[in-house]
Chain A
Amino acid sequence: ETGVTQTPRHLVMGMTNKKSLKCEQHLGHNAMYWYKQSAKKPLELMFVYSLEERVENNSVPSRFSPECPNSSHLFLHLHTLQPEDSALYLCASQPDLNTEAFFGQGTRLTVV
């Protein structure tokens, strides 16, 4: 248990659906991240938030939209996804930008 909680753990959605992934941490960390983990590929950084400000958008398609309403919560809003977006989406938090990352359990997303 890392203290980073993601919901839902599993999600199946159609290409025309809109859904949101949620990440929550009460560790007092100031930096939060979204990563994508596809089979046989390295973890890919998607978004970085530091003190609730988005500091990096790693060339992610606009069908993925992050939101960080406060330092404890991070969302990833999904709309009109493609089957190739099926992957494990991991949230991570860090006390600050220069410390180790604590990962959530991930959301296994399947787009049909």
Chain B
Amino acid sequence: GQNIDQPTEMTATEGAIVQINCTYQTSGFNGLFWYQQHAGEAPTFLSYNVLDGLEEKGRFSSFLSRSKGYSYLLLKELQMKDSASYLCAVRGSTLGRLYFGRGTQLTVWP
């Protein structure tokens, strides 16, 4: 089966740095995605990793280690608007389907 594991909740303060971890065990691997979802809204694409290493995009960075089945999303200079659920998803080897974790609800306090 497919297993994507990430913490349920995290809290941090404005201006801080937070790291959201994701571990996965899937029968195939063709890339890992991070999505942000605000309450009542659509998930929006944040980042994509298919090779090992760090991908940086502004305040957000994502890291992947395929040998460890591990990824993290790093958010710097946190803002109140970053309060949202962060979804880790692994693309399997067939039909481009995505396997999602339960999401990590991040709350940023002033």
Residue numbers of A with Cβ under 8 A of B are: 2, 4, 31, 40-45, 48, 50, 55-56, 90, 94, 96-106, 108
Q: Tell me the minimal C-beta distance from B87 to chain A in angstroms.
A: 7
Contact of A104 among B42, B89, B103 (CB under 8 A): B42
Q: Does B96 contact A (CB under 8 A)?
A: yes
Query: Number of A-B pairs whose CB atoms are under 8 Å?
Result: 53
Residue numbers of B with Cβ under 8 A of A are: 4, 30, 33, 35, 40-45, 48, 87, 89, 91, 95-103
Contacts known (A41-B102, A42-B103, A100-B33); A94 close to B42, Cβ less than 8 A: no
The contact sample of 22 A-B pairs, CB cut-off 8 A, is A4-B42, A31-B96, A41-B102, A42-B4, A42-B103, A43-B43, A43-B100, A45-B98, A48-B96, A50-B95, A55-B95, A56-B95, A56-B97, A90-B42, A94-B96, A97-B95, A98-B96, A99-B96, A101-B45, A104-B42, A105-B41, A108-B40
Contacts known (A50-B95, A98-B96); A42 close to B102, Cβ less than 8 A: yes
Closest 3 CB pairs of A and B: A97-B96, A43-B100, A103-B42
Contact of B43 among A31, A40, A99, A103 (CB under 8 A): A103
| CA A97 to CA B30, docked complex, whole Å | 11
Contact of A40 among B33, B99, B102 (CB under 8 A): B102
Q: For A99, give the chain B residue with the smallest CB separation.
A: B96
